[in-house]
């Protein structure tokens, strides 16, 4: 079976929105240092672009969790594959994610991070699929709300491919 990609959000639309979020984050964290926690691998493209547009002091760290295999369906299993290098205790932490789908990954992750006593903990996601939510998650910054379709690009993959697309597209299968 082959597939093709239909553009959902252009590179310009995504860049403009990230610029706006960067400005909002800079205002909200005025006088503070924001500690960005990137959820690998999907959040990495978004985090780099966002970090470049934040004007308050920034530090960053990475963690990796797995909830999906090579399919497009959630297994419901969340596993920490790589933990943070540094402590977040007392820091103003902003978790940067590619997408909130069922909410399972983020609700688990946020509870876990909260127990490490950061000064504050917020969530920023490039994409949100509210129709798919199974577990409630408080999102502080959202790039775009999108319909229930499987998307790729800007860090998001389908079977590890398409992360490098500079736009967001929907995977469509040809028969
Ligand atoms: P959740 O736990 O169901 O909210 O989703 C967790 C992870 O599933 C996200 O961080 C993504 O890595 C992946 N995911 C969910 N929806 C999509 C999609 O449409 N395209 C690619 N990855 C997705
Ligand atoms: Mg992710």
151 in contact with ligand 1, CB cutoff 6 A: yes
pLDDT tens readout for residues 113-159? 999 999 999 999 999 999 999 999 999 999 999 999 999 999 999 99
- The reply to whether ligand 1 has any atom less than 6 angstroms from the CB of 97 is yes
Parallel, antiparallel, or unpaired: how do β-strands 120-128 and 92-100 relate?
A: parallel
Nearest to 121 by CA among 156, 139, 95, 142: 95
Q: Taking ligand 2, which is a single-atom ion, which protein residues have CB atoms under 5 Å away?
A: 42, 98
Beta-strand relationship, 168-174 and 2-9: antiparallel
CA 99 – ligand 1 centroid, Å:
6
Q: What band does 75 get if pLDDT is binned at 50, 70 and 90?
A: low
Q: What is the pLDDT of residues 78-101, one digit of tens each?
A: 788 999 999 999 999 999 999 999
For residue 22, what are the CA distances in angstroms to 9, 43, 50, 118, 139? Answer: 18, 15, 6, 21, 15
Q: Which atom number of ligand 1 is nearest to the Cα of residue 104?
A: 2
Number of the ligand 1 atom closest to the C-alpha atom of 98: 10
Given pLDDT bands bounded at 50, 70 and 90, which one contains residue 175? confident
**Residue numbers annotated as active site:** 101
Between the alpha carbon of residue 160 and those of residues 48, 52, 168, the distances in Å are 19, 25, 15
Count CA atoms closer than 13 A to 136's CA, side-chain side. Answer: 1
Report the 10 Å Cβ neighbour count for 100: 24
Per 3-state DSSP, the chain is made up of helix, strand and coil in percentages (nearest 5) of 25, 35, 40
Atom of ligand 1 nearest to the CA of 43: 10
Q: Is residue 72 predicted with pLDDT exceeding 70?
A: no
């Amino acid at each position: 079976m082959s597939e093709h990609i239909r553009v959902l959000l252009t590179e310009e639309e995504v860049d403009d929105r990230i610029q706006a979020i960067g400005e909002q984050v800079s205002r909200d964290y005025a006088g503070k240092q924001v500690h960005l926690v990137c959820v690998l691998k999907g959040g990495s493209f978004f985090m780099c672009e966002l970090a470049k547009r934040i004007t308050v002091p920034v530090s960053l760290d990475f963690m990796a969790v797995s909830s999906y295999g090579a399919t497009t369906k959630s297994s419901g299993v969340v596993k920490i594959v790589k933990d943070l290098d540094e402590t977040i205790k007392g820091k103003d932490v902003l978790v940067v994610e590619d997408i909130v789908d069922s909410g399972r990954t983020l609700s688990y992750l946020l509870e876990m991070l909260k127990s490490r006593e950061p000064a504050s903990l917020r969530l920023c996601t490039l994409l949100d699929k509210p129709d798919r939510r199974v577990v409630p998650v408080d999102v502080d910054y959202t790039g775009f709300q999108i319909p229930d379709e499987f998307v790729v690009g800007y860090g998001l993959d389908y079977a590890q491919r398409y992360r490098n697309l500079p736009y967001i597209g929907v995977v469509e299968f040809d028969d």
